[in-house]
Structure 1
Amino acid sequence: MTPASPKPNKTKDPNPGIPIYGCEHIQRLLTKSQDVTTNTIQHYKMLLRVIFDNTPIIPQTSKSADRRPVTSLIPNYLCLQCPTTTTAKDRLKHGKLKAHMFYVDSRSGGLFCQMCDDFVWDPTLEELRLRKIGTGSFSSRKRKRDEPFTDPAKDDTAYMSINTTAAPCRATGLRGIFNMGSTCFMSVILQSFVHNPLLRNFYLRDGHQVGQCTQDNCLSCGMDELFQAFYSEETTASYVASKMLSDSWLCQQAAFSELAGYDEHDAHEYFQFLAEELHRTNRQERHTSPTGANASHASHLTSNCDCIVHQTFYGKFQSTLTCQNCGVVTTSVEPFLDLSLAIDSIAKRQGNNGGESSHEWSQPLTLQRCLDVEYMQPERCEYSCRSCDSPQEARKQLSIKNLPNVLCIQFKWFKFDDHKVTMASESHVLGAEAFLLFYIIRSLA
């Protein structure tokens, strides 16, 4: 009787809309050969056991240049391709020396790609990590009733009610913003900013030095005042954001000059305006900026900016062009502040290109379907191929390379289209319900 051959490790096919691999670099590693795939997965399991089963001192300890053990209070990185544990500072040096690109965070078990310079979400490895955290093993079995994840006392409602107290309103920032006349567009953006934990922590720890700021009509100073009022005062009375309104009017940005006045404005436009201003006043890089009307906008798109706005709201697009003649692939990366989804045009593109049945398209349009249509369906376009040295047809694939900490999505529900004009007779206008209602209310006033 011959022993059974070991069962090979396989990457699990994800659900539709979910990438098979975390990034192109981990894909190359896991598809190199069956032995490499098996060894990588087994090594990842071993690292997860080290992180979650042993004392935290082990994964938090690395070796210095003179081979002495050094225990760090911040996360270390365990190499996925060798038994080395490095600090964040020495990770790049180890990668260049050994040509190793993948590391595991010593606290969370998350996978870090050196080439992407970011944590990546790989379905196969992530499932192993979640199983280890949830059940303590890599088995897919469900936990038994007598295997609670946590101490039962911590989940007991009576225990929680006895040992907790209600937080004061100054700790939650629950306050309204007074409407100063058609300023709802500003209030909704300020409320979303003031309850954003990243912005809140930045301003409450004096991320913007108000006492040292020399800028006139500084909106970042206004935001600092707003955060102090929401999180320092024991009151629920509505806040009057007069400084934010006046500074918005007096801002020198020509692109947003139409925001001045008491007219109604678009909240999304004010969000872009405020993000631009906060970036301009808080960016850490002090390089020479372009002059003219586009100076601020140009600095806003700096991909290596480390200001609080970029840390919070900015992600990265990746555009991949494949020449249909020679097969050369051109990749470009650019930052984005928000995603714009045109609901009407996406619905039309779904019906034309999706190939699904009419019953499927009769279902409500979801955010997942909108994102799939916008960023997972390739397009054909014309471009000048450097390899062919002539205009060629190309296949363009747009994808999101890096998601921001806070993803902002703008839904375009309608648009003005002068291509289709419908003639309305005078009798039709006079008989319209809205027209009659206006004069009825006016006569009753």
Structure 2
Amino acid sequence: MSDHGCIHLNNFKAAKGIQPYKVIHSFFVTSTSTEARVRKAVSCLCHTCKTYKDRLHSCLHCIFFGCYVKGHIQEHAKTKKHFLAVDLCYGNILCFQCGDYVYDRELLKVAKAQWSELAKSLSFGEFYRAWEPTQTEAELLRNHPRRRRVIENSTIGLRGLINLGNTCFVNCIVQALIHTPLLRDYFLADRHHCPQPSLCLVCEVSHLFQEFYSGNKAPLTLHKLLHLIWTHVRHLAGYEQQDAHEFFIATLDVLHKHCEATTILVKDNPHHCKCIIDQIFTGCLQSDVVCQACNGVSTTIDPFWDISLDLTSAASTSGSNTPGPPTSLLDCLEKFTRAEHLGSSAKIKCSNCETYQESTKQLTMKQLPIVAIFHLKRFEHFIIQDKIFKKKISTFISFPEQLDMTPFMSHRRNGNNNSAMLNGLSKNGEDMSFSDNRYSLFAVINHEGSLETGHYTAFIRQQRDQWFKCNDHLITRAKLKDVLTSEGYLLFYHKQILEYG
């Protein structure tokens, strides 16, 4: 990339100004409005091969999109003598006469102004998903002498945690959070600022990220984090073994509350704010209760941080045999989103016919979080003759490395057949045809042993396909097969394609 511009771009600017670049960058690079994002989703295809991949470029002289990898933008430049194009991923100008990307301070100011405009209208998580560094900035980062290079087989970010006495449940949750990609990027970017750091759990987690990525390999002690959790969640205080799932939800809750000072509530969902915790972990669950007399539907939407999945046999439904216990994560999700007949003993007053009637209830995914967490309910509690008994379910439940949640979405699961659905639109007008609901596994927490003498460990994906087992202070390499054949208690999946808008 040239740092001194080029005569061909200067001649173009002298003749037509910067408005063509401004329009292309606004609509097809930053997409600073809803209209622009819709237009980008519909229009951004190579005019030759109709793909949106392969480094799409827009001609600066006329309305033409062409992919670089297959050479279609090059063919257009040669045929039409239009030698300037805009890279729609980064917003850089490619001059085919110079054979290079060219750097222009005036156009860089335009690009930065539009990124700033986008940042004002979006939350951090949305902006992060929209932003990618320009090639100039990427080049500066690569050449920076103090930049830490993450090479293949690098173990940066891996660090053991000392067990302070039955605190393995804390250690495995911390390992999963530290290796949550967007959470890591947020804290390593030093986004959190707080007037009372000594009392703030978010500040302590920020400090932990710095420690993990400092390059120091000595095991860490989590005494301050434990103290802060105990201060805010009294029933978890002490050195008795606790449930990792309960600790995880309590930790998210405290982190969320400590972020609330800078929280902005979303208008259509007062339970969902724009703090980094909710942006990453919060999804929306839709509950549809259908009256069996008039088919009236009562719908409620509730936020969730995780999905707890039952491992026992499904309850029988009218006219069907009782299914056996699930054997896979997909079985569990199928059961979770299956319509359930509530029975004659649980009649609900229908808001449509205003009488108490039998009904069915169905849970579906209205909105998916960036990080989807599945809690396999392995610890069963039951009462016999006023005595509480506990049992661990050690059944093997298979789970995939790649997971597609599309079959469990509300618009697919609850049988809506109206014209909007057939056209790929949800009831509120949301375009479902561009949504991508594929996830990749990046952490698994296991409970080994019995209820009385159990021990928590974690598998974490450090980068790409490199997996490690975290057993308190001991970190060892693991194979994907080891991960997928483990018992599985908490499963952490990250969305493969992040959308914004």
Bin of the TM-score, shorter chain as denominator length: 0.5 to 0.7
1:266 and 2:266 correspond: no
Partner SS, residue 185 of structure 1? helix
Larger Rg over CA atoms: 1
Report the Cα distance in structure 1 between the residues aligned to 2:241 and 2:315, rounded to whole angstroms. Answer: 32
Give the aligned CA root-mean-square deviation in angstroms. Answer: 4.2
Question: Which residue of the partner structure matches residue 276 of structure 1?
Answer: 253
The normalised TM-score by structure 2 is 0.47
Q: Which has the higher contact order (CA 8 A, sep 6+)?
A: 2
Question: Which residue of the partner structure matches residue 376 of structure 1?
Answer: 338
Measured after TM superposition, the shift of residue 249 of structure 1 is 2.1
Report the Cα distance in structure 2 between the residues aligned to 1:107 and 1:68, rounded to whole angstroms. Answer: 16
1:194 and 2:160 correspond: no
Report the Cα distance in structure 2 between the residues aligned to 1:102 and 1:318, rounded to whole angstroms. Answer: 29
- Seen in structure 2, the aligned counterparts of structure 1 residues 90 and 367 have a Cα distance that, compared at 3 Å, is closer
- Seen in structure 2, the aligned counterparts of structure 1 residues 68 and 201 have a Cα distance that, compared at 3 Å, is closer
Partner SS, residue 163 of structure 2? coil
**What letter matches 1:336 in structure 2?**
F
**What letter matches 1:383 in structure 2?**
I
Question: Which residue of the partner structure matches residue 419 of structure 1?
Answer: 384
Partner SS, residue 317 of structure 1? strand
Measured after TM superposition, the shift of residue 284 of structure 1 is 5.8
**What letter matches 2:276 in structure 1?**
I
Measured after TM superposition, the shift of residue 75 of structure 1 is 5.0
Q: Pairwise mapping of residues 52-91 of structure 1 onto structure 2 (< 5 A)?
A: 70-72=23-25, 87-91=31-35
Q: Pairwise mapping of residues 420-439 of structure 1 onto structure 2 (< 5 A)?
A: none
- Seen in structure 2, the aligned counterparts of structure 1 residues 76 and 332 have a Cα distance that, compared at 3 Å, is farther
Question: Which residue of the partner structure matches residue 361 of structure 2?
Answer: 396
1:236 and 2:217 correspond: yes
- Seen in structure 2, the aligned counterparts of structure 1 residues 102 and 321 have a Cα distance that, compared at 3 Å, is farther
Question: Which residue of the partner structure matches residue 332 of structure 1?
Answer: 300
Partner SS, residue 407 of structure 1? strand
Question: Which residue of the partner structure matches residue 214 of structure 1?
Answer: 196
**What letter matches 2:381 in structure 1?**
F
Measured after TM superposition, the shift of residue 322 of structure 1 is 2.2
**Number of matched residues?**
272
The normalised TM-score by structure 1 is 0.52
1:232-276 per-residue CA deviation (whole Å, 9 max, x = no partner) reads 2x222111122111212222xxxx312111111111111011100
Report the Cα distance in structure 2 between the residues aligned to 1:354 and 1:242, rounded to whole angstroms. Answer: 53
Does the 8 Å CA contact 2:201/2:225 hold for their aligned counterparts? yes
Report the Cα distance in structure 1 between the residues aligned to 2:169 and 2:27, rounded to whole angstroms. Answer: 41
Q: Pairwise mapping of residues 39-54 of structure 1 onto structure 2 (< 5 A)?
A: none
1:336-375 per-residue CA deviation (whole Å, 9 max, x = no partner) reads 111111212xx24379986489xxx59x711111110111
**What letter matches 2:368 in structure 1?**
L
Partner SS, residue 293 of structure 2? coil
1:143-199 per-residue CA deviation (whole Å, 9 max, x = no partner) reads xxxxxx99xxxxxxxxxxxxx954654xx3011111111110100000000111111
Name structure 1 gaps, 5 residues minimum: 1-65, 78-86, 95-100, 110-127, 135-148, 151-163, 289-300, 423-433, 435-445
**Going by fraction, where is helix more abundant, 1 or 2?**
1
Partner SS, residue 399 of structure 1? strand
**What letter matches 1:179 in structure 2?**
N
**Going by fraction, where is strand more abundant, 1 or 2?**
2
- Seen in structure 2, the aligned counterparts of structure 1 residues 376 and 105 have a Cα distance that, compared at 3 Å, is farther
Measured after TM superposition, the shift of residue 378 of structure 1 is 3.6
Measured after TM superposition, the shift of residue 214 of structure 1 is 1.6
Partner SS, residue 366 of structure 2? strand
1:209-233 per-residue CA deviation (whole Å, 9 max, x = no partner) reads 2xx432652111110110000012x
Report the Cα distance in structure 2 between the residues aligned to 1:102 and 1:69, rounded to whole angstroms. Answer: 16
Partner SS, residue 221 of structure 2? coil
Question: Which residue of the partner structure matches residue 289 of structure 2?
Answer: 321
Question: Which residue of the partner structure matches residue 8 of structure 1?
Answer: none
Question: Which residue of the partner structure matches residue 49 of structure 1?
Answer: none
Does the 8 Å CA contact 2:288/2:362 hold for their aligned counterparts? yes
- Seen in structure 2, the aligned counterparts of structure 1 residues 379 and 399 have a Cα distance that, compared at 3 Å, is farther
1:341 and 2:309 correspond: yes
